[in-house]
Structure 1
Amino acid sequence: MSVVEEDVWKVYNLQKDPDARNEIIVKYLPLVKHIVKKLVISDIAQSEYEDLIHQGILGLIDAIEKYQPDKGVKFETYATLRIRGEIIDYLRKRDWMPRSLKKKYKKIEETVEKLQQRYNREPTVEEITEACGLEEEDVLKTLSYINVSNINSLEEAIENNLKIHSISEIDLKNPEEELLYKELKKKLAHAIEKLSEKERLVITLYYYEDLNYKDISKILNLTESRISQIHSKAIKKIREMLGEYF
């Protein structure tokens, strides 16, 4: 953190100065946009994208209000969790994806597997849409929502374990918590090793390299919806292997 940034935080923490808060919001607005782009497929409607950005900003403001520098946690780490949490809460309360679409997810998943076998390649969104008899927007929204739901309970664990964070950056209150943290880290790494090569690659690019679906789709030459599916499937496997923690 630069001297200028430290001064801004000092001013805000001491005086709760609105101008200082606005300066912090502007600085971390790209973080909000980055999180939204990682959570959903880029083809969602612009109005929905803007709604999620708005919710993310509310999460950022909440993080600014509650952040305590003396805890030893980086603001970016703390803010990321608050922003993501605000967006996910919004999606759930609004029921962003109707229950009828949730029921159709299994049909979409099965259709993809059948098309893979038929064409001996990854199917396009258009092919999936035609085979399922659903609107393309519904297919994309379903995959995005299911992905958000799947990663929610694992997100904090993965953020704290896959990214290069030291123990000192995490607010562990006692030796028992530190021991549990180290054990979870070891089991998480073991679970990831059991994933298929493609699943491990997606998880690595998403968490280690901090890329979104659009970037990963270009690297792997797959559709964003397919990347979302691979990601969701990998997270589902990890959750099953780490079931004792959830």
Structure 2
Amino acid sequence: MTTQSLGLHSMELLVTYSRNPSLKLRNHLVEINAGLVRQVAHRISRQCSEPYEDLEQIGYLGLIRAIERFNPHQGCAFSSFAIPYIRGEMLHYLRDRGSIMRIPRRWQELYAKGKKLKKQLGMSLGHPPKEKEVAKALGISLQEWSECQLALQNRLLVSLDATVAQVNEGCLTFGETLPDPHCLTQRYWEEERLHLQKAMSQLEDKTKAAIECVFIKDLPRKEAAKEIGISPMTVTRHLQKGIEQLGLLMNPQAA
């Protein structure tokens, strides 16, 4: 599959996910867009002491949050939307661990020189210079200048209101990329609910009906027995059997 067709396929799945979220589809979207995480992890791992593998794992949390928040109808490319979330998750992780950034001396010198050049170019051009103009004046690529700035800026405390990306409706701040405990809790229970639904679908019909009547509808066992068409004793046996099966389906390690 070409890059273009892969992008179209990903967008189609994102549209489907926005209409009907599911754990299976979200995990598939993570697999398709894993390259974004690897790209950001590779860049940041060159500037800090944390292993690439750790940054990659943390980056997937940012990718998941981007998938859950992305609105495919805004006309924004998903990669442009997701990278700030992935990068923000990694930077948050690094700040929590107090990781010491390894800044090459050459980059320190380039950063200082670049700041001076920005002022000089601003005066000569009559407007703030673009980053590619600064990079050209320094005689380096735009990518290296971006990485140089990223490395030096990450040594400083960053305001939660600092802009990390431009989106259609305005600016995305660093604070907005940080994990929300309430959202994380909601996500956890949503995943558990989907996991339970999948496990319930694998039960026998009467076992599933017994669990739904007693634990979801909160019916007494006699009423549950009438609704299902079996005896109360059989309801009890189905409940015991169903609970054991759900325990094994939802926690395979227990098997």
Whether these two folds match at TM > 0.5 is no
Q: TM-score, normalised by structure 2?
A: 0.42
Which of the pair is proportionally richer in helix?
Answer: 1
Q: TM-score, normalised by structure 1?
A: 0.44
- State the structure with more CA Rg: 2
